[in-house]
């Protein structure tokens, strides 16, 4: 028997599946089928998209996505399943997950469960059978916006109002909800290895693996660590991690970093949110991007080497270079929109990049930055 397009698209879904809706603050309604944590009836967040083709599990567990409903542009997700080895943090922090089609069967020798099962036990509601092409085109033209993912029996108008009443990303400090609760150590090759204090604003595990692989021993501190607590560790270097939310809202950290920079002692390396926090502490400003940079294929020019790097990115804010002090030098530039991707201080051992050189998922062309940090400490 020949099936029409709608029947064909939904042939694998249970007949009793409750419909789900993704509703945006501009009034757009996207209907689909729920998967994952079906007991979660409603989630609000900023609706964003990523252009990564693979790496959905690493994306789901990247704390930088806290407070966001993530849309995958690649149409099929879940075909290689999920496993506990590919987690980038202790659990997913996304507010929701949007895909065109969630694979019902997975095939990979490392897989331990399906994507749907992983979302279910992680408490994340997903929606599939959504026209993600239309959704992404809307986000590109109008910008990232607040939304609600729901399986409730509410009217579209009611859900639109819920989306409009949800918090805006601008002004939110989300670091305290994703940071480690307690400090911990990670051993390096030896006790003589450079000692790095890592400030965890929502750090990815692959950053920690990269730092250790490049010869450092680590002490990871919560995002609320004071200057005294940092200096008590007698660090050879200080690393500022990635993380979610508006950097300008992390006021206590910015104030602490100003005092740390004035000491002119340890090399400081920042990634993503860490890059933005360093910029603010040095006197610069940040601003919100229209729809952000999220994906594993963003071209960046290294202005020092004149080489092009394909980078992994996940950020919704950027540094306004016109506001940065004159003793800072622009080192990396985004080739898509010419936004700031990295800088260094010309007098102090301070440097930072906006993108993710640890690239999980993504390319590893920027691995040299960890070597640069290790050499700065030596």
**Out of 58, 272, 293, 309, which one is annotated catalytic?**
272
Of the candidates 26, 70, 22, the residue with the CA atom closest to the CA atom of residue 46: 70
How many CA atoms, within 13 angstroms, populate the side-chain half-sphere of residue 260?
A: 32
- Closest to 298 (Cα-Cα) out of 258, 261, 342, 335: 335
Question: In this structure, are strands 145-150 and 42-50 parallel, antiparallel, or unpaired?
Answer: antiparallel
Assess whether 345 carries a catalytic annotation. Answer: no
Is residue 361 reached through a cis peptide bond, with omega within 30 degrees of 0 on the bond before it? yes
Please identify which of the residues 46, 309, 341, 358 carries the catalytic annotation. Answer: 358
Q: Please say whether the beta carbons of 334 and 293 come within 8 A.
A: yes
Give the whole-angstrom CA distance, residue 247 versus residue 280: 8
Return the C-alpha torsion angle 165, 168, 173, 179, nearest 10: 80
Cα–Cα dist 35/121, whole Å: 12
- Which residues are 326's β-sheet partners? none
Determine whether 358 is an active site residue.
yes
Please tell me which residue in 298, 332, 345, 356 is annotated as part of the active site: 356
Q: Catalytic residue at 328? A: no
* Spatial separation of the C-alpha atoms in residues 177 and 183, rounded to whole Å: 15
Distance CA(352)–CA(360), nearest Å, equals 18
Catalytic residues: 272, 356, 358
């Amino acid at each position: 028997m020949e099936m029409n397009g709608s029947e064909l698209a939904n042939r694998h879904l249970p007949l009793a599946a409750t419909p789900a809706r993704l509703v945006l603050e501009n009034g757009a309604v996207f209907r689909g089928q729920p998967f994952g944590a079906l007991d979660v009836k409603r989630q609000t967040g900023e609706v964003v998209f990523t252009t990564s083709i693979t790496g959905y599990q690493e994306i789901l567990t990247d704390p930088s996505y806290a407070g966001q409903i993530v849309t995958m542009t690649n149409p099929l997700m879940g075909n290689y399943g999920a496993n506990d080895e590919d987690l980038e943090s202790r659990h997913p922090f996304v507010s929701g997950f949007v895909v065109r089609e969630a694979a019902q069967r997975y095939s990979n020798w490392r897989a331990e469960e399906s994507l749907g099962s992983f979302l279910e036990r992680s408490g994340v509601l997903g929606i599939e059978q959504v026209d993600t092409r239309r959704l992404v085109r809307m986000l590109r033209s109008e910008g990232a916006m607040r939304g609600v993912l729901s399986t409730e029996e509410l009217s579209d108008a009611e859900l639109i109002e819920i989306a409009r009443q949800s918090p805006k990303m601008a002004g939110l400090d989300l670091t305290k909800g994703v940071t480690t609760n307690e400090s911990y150590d990670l051993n390096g090759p030896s006790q003589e290895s450079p000692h790095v204090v890592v400030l965890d604003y929502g750090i990815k595990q692959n950053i920690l693996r990269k730092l250790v692989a490049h010869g450092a021993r680590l002490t990871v501190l919560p995002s609320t660590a004071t200057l005294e607590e940092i200096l008590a560790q007698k660090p050879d270097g200080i690393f500022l991690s990635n993380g979610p939310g508006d950097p300008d809202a992390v006021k206590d950290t910015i104030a602490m970093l100003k005092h740390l920079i004035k000491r002119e002692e340890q090399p400081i390396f920042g990634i993503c949110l860490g890059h933005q926090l360093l910029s603010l502490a040095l006197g610069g400003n940040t601003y919100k991007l229209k729809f952000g940079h999220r994906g594993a294929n963003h071209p960046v020019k290294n202005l020092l080497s004149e080489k092009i790097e394909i980078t992994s990115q996940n950020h919704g804010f950027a540094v306004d270079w016109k506001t940065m002090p004159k003793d800072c030098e622009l080192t990396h530039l985004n080739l898509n929109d010419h936004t700031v991707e990295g800088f260094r201080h010309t007098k102090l051992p301070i440097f930072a990049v906006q993108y993710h050189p640890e690239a999980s998922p993504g390319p590893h062309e920027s691995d040299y930055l960890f070597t640069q940090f290790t050499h700065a400490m030596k």
